Amino acid sequence: MKTNNLNYIFNNLFVILLLLLTSSHAIAQTPQVPKEMRFADLTLRLNEQARREIQLDVDALYRNPTYFKTKLERVNLYMPIIERELQKEGVPTDLKYLVIQESSLIADAVSTSNAVGFWQFKKGTAEEVFLRVDSQIDERKNIVSSTQGAARYLKKNNAQFNNWMCGLVAYQMGLGGAKSYFGTQYNGKKVVELDRNTHWYFKKFLAHKVAFEGNNVQLVSNTGYLEEISIQGPTTLKAVASRLNVSEDHLKEYNKWTSKGSIPGDKPYSIIYLKSGLTPRPAISEATSAAPASEINYQDTRYSQSLRQATTYPKVSGNTAKATQPNQILVNDIEAVQAAASTTQDEFTDQIGMRTGKFRRINDLDKKEPVKAGEYYYTAQKSTKAEAEIHVVKKGETLWSISQKYGIKLAALKAKNRIRADNHLVPGMVLNLQEHRKRSEDIKILPLNQQNIANKPVTTQQAIPTSNPQTQTSPPVNQEVNKSPENSRIVHTVIKGENLFRISQKYGVRVEEIKKWNNLNNDNIQLGQKLTIYRP
């Protein structure tokens, strides 16, 4: 009996040891650098010396299995977000390996040259790509914002060379340094020979690409995945944590970009937190994009949330304190400027240093249309499709106002929906912002009760899922709701950075209506001022 027990124990120990050795070997099995590989849109041909140099770096990354596995855990967590943001900017997803090289995906990493965060930006460069860096917020430590900034920077660099190798090296050397180093020898080239003279930074990047791509990640299992929500403050991580049923310390661990746990109200910020499970739920756009408008279930809570999120547009980023000055902000990731006062097109374009004809074409304006105070106007071309999938028309909206809200060309908006005039718009009409409506497909018009759901402004409470749907939420801190029978009258308290235009967008009303309701003679409002709003 004792002999049988010993055999049983020995056999189990042997199996466990074998599994451990197999797992360790699988993780530590070093991939080999090939003679030819693809990077972005380039074909790379490596001579033996270049291969040996890169292989040494790959071997070094695999030398400590524990350290490599820890890094791989972070790679598995963050890469879905990084890939998504690179794709949005039109940057090849191969560039994702650069973030591993730069920071090992450590949010608060600081280099010897004082570069900070996931993508290792210095303060000046961060501000160039519209990241907020001050005593309260450091978006270099925000995985979403910093990746957006890195994508813009890489894309700008590549535009100078039409060669992603040169664009990537410019990330380390600066654009001027890369131009001096490369000259024009690689401009537009799609086949590149690598040898001992190839820049060390690019060879180190290729080592990270070889080490972390493909099947190397299959045996590493995370305990969850990162969920992202967009929050418009002012609020705190503590308040957000209570609604997410996670600890405040948990949110602080994954959101080091807010030094004191405060989320300001100047723009929406992305908050991430760890959720249990193997894979995230499908994105709303994936779940609905295959269904024609007539077949979409608009009572589906996921789709209702998608409709509500339309109220977060236009998305303004950059130095919002100087929004009325050129080259300071992006609106929907497009260069833009805000009008400080109502004026003519000629006077406004003189102020921002732009030709009137170009300004008019970019913003789809008629020749004599005035520039209105508080409105955002684009200084670079709008896109042919929006980031959002659909828009539900509200009373008083025009095709032009919708096109400006999402940064989509007016002609593209009309073509996608086969609508040519504002008098064809009906409140509740669901407009496509990405795909063209099929000729046999009717435009969906939501019933009134669903229009109210879809057009209700997103508050912090609405944007965050709660574990108990019956829980009653209080109004946002800057609103006092008058409990009239129809609950349509709201008293809004003006917060820092707001103007009449932003407030009008928040509630789906017109600036002139707000002025009329509050007996305002001009567009000037004060911090803390209370405004009466009648929600449509």
Domain contains 368: yes
Residue where a domain terminates, one of 241, 259, 279: 279
Q: How far apart are CA 254 and CA 416, in angstroms?
A: 39
Pick the more confident residue, 112 or 7: 112
Mean pLDDT of 179-184: 94
186 and 148 in a common domain: yes
Considering the domain boundaries, does residue 24 fall inside one? no
The boundaries of the domain holding residue 272 are 223-279
Tokens encoding 418: 């086969």
DSSP assignment, residue 438? P
Mean pLDDT over all residues of the chain? 79
Residue 324 shares a structural domain with residue 451: yes
Number of domains making up the chain: 4
Query: Which ranges in 215-328 belong to alpha helices (H)?
Result: 237-244, 248-254, 284-288, 301-308
pLDDT of residue 221: 45
Structural tokens at position 217: 């990640």
Radius of gyration of the chain (CA): 27
Please tell me the predicted confidence (pLDDT) of residue 297: 43
Please check whether residue 436 lies inside any domain of the structure.
Answer: yes
Out of 65-79, 241-255, 311-325, 487-501, least confident range = 487-501
Q: Are residues 252 and 367 in the same domain?
A: no
173 with 41, same domain?
Answer: yes
pLDDT classification of 19: cutoffs 50, 70, 90: very low
Inside any domain, residue 300 = no
Out of 423, 455, 487, pick the residue that ends a domain: 455
Tell me, yes or no, whether 427 and 479 share the same domain.
no
Q: What pLDDT is attached to residue 209?
A: 94
Residue of 469 and 306 predicted with greater confidence = 306
Residue 215 has pLDDT above 50, yes or no: no
CA pair distance 235, 463, nearest whole angstrom: 13
Taking phi first (over 0 means left), then psi (-120 to 50 degrees means alpha), and beta for anything else, what does residue 198 get? beta
23 domain residue, yes or no: no
Residue 135 clears pLDDT 70, i.e. is over it = yes
Domain harbouring 355, CATH code: 3.10.350.10
> In this structure, is residue 7 part of a structural domain?
no
Do both 242 and 202 map to the same domain? Answer: no
- For the cut 90, the answer to whether the pLDDT of residue 446 exceeds it is no
Q: Is the pLDDT of residue 468 over 90?
A: no
CA atoms within 13 A on the CB side of 203: 20
d(CA 202, CA 166): 9
pLDDT at 276 over 80: no
Edge-to-edge order in the sheet of strand 489-493 = 479-481, 489-493, 530-534
244 assigned to some structural domain: yes
Report pLDDT digits (tens) over 227-239. 888 888 889 999 9
Same-domain check for residues 450 and 345: yes
Query: Is a pLDDT exceeding 50 seen at residue 13?
Result: yes
